[in-house]
Structure formats: structure tokens, C-alpha cells
Amino acid sequence: MSDTPVIPEEPIQKARHPFVEAWEMFRRNHAAVVALAVLVLIILGAIFGPILYATDPFEMVWAPFSPPGVDGYLLGTDYLGRDMMAMVLNGARVSLLIGLAAAVVSVVIGVTVGALAGFYRGLVEEVLMRITEFFQVLPTLLFSMVIVALFGASLPMITFAIGVVSWTAVARITRSEFLRIRELEYVTASRASGVKNLRLMFKVILPNALPPIIVQSALMVGSAILFEAGLSFLGLTDPNIVSWGQIIGSNRQYILDASFTVTIPGLAIFVTVLAISLVGDGLNDALNPKLRQR
């Protein structure tokens, strides 16, 4: 018999799915996990709140400016005697919808401009980047106010106005990712195999450029909610639709007499935007391969 010691074979570690690794990295950011739980509660409240608390937000139910907790109204009543609880729950649905829809508009414009500029370069990049810089130097709130004032304060127009002034950050991030990825070997191999440009852009390069775009898109939802609140505070909103910004805007002249009518929807906006920002920070940690390797 040979006296050569037998070395045990090392167990082969099974490769983990990238989403599993990203989730594990996300869970290490405790603030992001708590923020995600809060955001889920807000979304559930926006979806099911108006169903469970079936009170018309425009109905005058009690005396104006009833403080929170008085006469059975948990959040009190506003200057017309409308139930603040019903208004906040219904407003959550509209504010989140505006934020999400405006972010989608911004991402579509930004990804298209950034992808074309980063892929084709040359004259195409020069023209598109000058357009991006033009929109970037414009005062975004003022520009959105002009659009809403000219074309009407309907919900689709408010969403479009917010989205069309907020796409520049996505365009720059997409362009930088395309400039980096288009020089990699697998892209060169795909180009050599005869893959057409559009397929190369959106089937090969874009999926690998998504992580920073996803992070920026998440942050833009919170920015869009703040934009809508700003427009509503200035009276540029649809008075027939309840949103958190509309509640603040309609009660702004009574802020010294009944501050809770402005504070409550303001806190709702603050908590929601903070939760979205913390979730975006967690996504940045989870989707950034350099941070994941630490």
C-alpha cells in the first residue's frame, strides 16, 4: 500500500444567481430594508386604503379645521370640512402614479437619447449632447410650469411636463455606459457576427447598462413626487383630482391657522421620498459590481 496521503477534494461551490447576490447585498443595508418595508406599506395603503376607508375625499363631512382625533376623524378636516384621512389615502394613489409615470417618461427619453449618443458617437453624439445640455441648464420647475400653464393642468399633462424636464440625468448615465460597454469584446464579437445596430444597442448593450439606470429611475420617482407637490403648491394642478401636493396647495393660505392640513400631506411626501431615496441607495450597493466584491 502507498503511504501517500489522500487529499480530500474541495467541494465545488455552486455559482449563485446574480439576483441572489444582489438581494444579499441589499439586505446588508439595513436602512434600505426598512425603507423598502415602509414603501411597501405606503403602496399598499395607496391601493387598498381608499377601498377600506370608503369616504369621498371631496365630501364635506364635518366642521372645517377639526383637529386630528376630534369627532372621530383621525387626521381632522381641511378648510372645507373634508376628511383629511380620505384625502391623504386617495392622494397617495395619485402622487405615486404621477411619480411612476413621470419616471417612465424620463427613462424612455433619457435612454433613447443616451443610447443613440453613446453608440453612434460623432455628429449624432454632438447634436444629442447639445440638446441634453440645453434641457439641463433650463430651470426645471419653471419650464414645467410653462408647459402646464400653456397646455392645461390635466393629470397627463402634469406627468408629461415633469417627465420631459427630468430626463437629462438618465441620458448622461446611459451614454457613459454605452461608451464603456461598446468597446468590450463580446460587443465586438456580436458586431462581427452581423448583428444589426438596433439589436446590438437594445439587446446586447442595454441589458448590461441597466444597473445604474435602474438606480437613477428609482430616485426619479421621488423627484417627480416633489415636482408635482411644487406645481400644486403654486396652483398648477387639476382641482378635480386629489394628490398630496393638491392638498398642500389648497390649504396653503391656512398654514398658520391649521398647520396640520399642510403638515400631514407634507410628512407623507417626506417619508415617501426619503424611503425611495434609501431604497435607491440600497439598489446602488446591490447592483454595483465593485461594491459587491468588497
pLDDT digits (tens, 9 = 90+) for 131-182: 999 998 888 888 888 898 888 888 899 999 999 999 999 999 999 999 999 8
Query: Does residue 55 contact residue 85 with C-beta atoms inside 8 Å?
Result: yes
Domain-embedded: residue 194: yes
Domain-embedded: residue 62: no
Model confidence at 269: pLDDT above 90: yes
CB count in 10 Å sphere of residue 44? 11
- Number of separate domains in the chain: 1
Residue 221: φ, ψ to 5°: -60, -45
pLDDT band at 290 (very low <50, low <70, confident <90, very high): low
The whole-number average pLDDT for the span 10-14 is 50
Domain-embedded: residue 8: no
B/e letters for 113-123, b = 16+ CB within 10 Å, e = fewer, are: bbbbbbbeeee
User: Tens digits of per-residue pLDDT, 35-75?
Assistant: 999 999 999 999 999 999 989 999 999 889 999 988 888 99
Count of positions (residues) in the chain: 294
CB count in 10 Å sphere of residue 194? 6
Nearest by Cα to 52 from 93, 13, 12: 93
Domain-embedded: residue 65: no
Domain-embedded: residue 75: no
- The amino acid present at 190, given as its one-letter code, is S
CA distances to 72, 85, 192, 260, 271 from 264, rounded to whole Å, are 17, 9, 59, 6, 11
Domain-embedded: residue 56: no
Domain-embedded: residue 74: no
Domain-embedded: residue 95: yes
Alpha-carbon torsion angle 127, 128, 129, 131, nearest 10: 90
Q: Is 241 exposed, middle or buried (0-12, 13-18, 19+ CB in 10 A)?
A: middle
Cα 260 from Cα 148, distance rounded (Å): 28
Model confidence at 17: pLDDT above 90: no
pLDDT band at 84 (very low <50, low <70, confident <90, very high): very high
Residues 6+ apart with CB under 8 A from 289: none
The whole-number average pLDDT for the span 282-288 is 81
Q: What is the pLDDT of residue 187?
A: 87
CATH number of residue 156's parent domain? 1.10.3720.10
- pTM, to two decimals: 0.85
The whole-number average pLDDT for the span 213-217 is 89
Place of cell 398642500: 248
The dihedral through the CA atoms of 47, 49, 52, 53 has a sign that is: negative
User: Tens digits of per-residue pLDDT, 217-237?
Assistant: 888 999 999 888 888 888 888
What domain range is 177 assigned to? 28-46+83-288
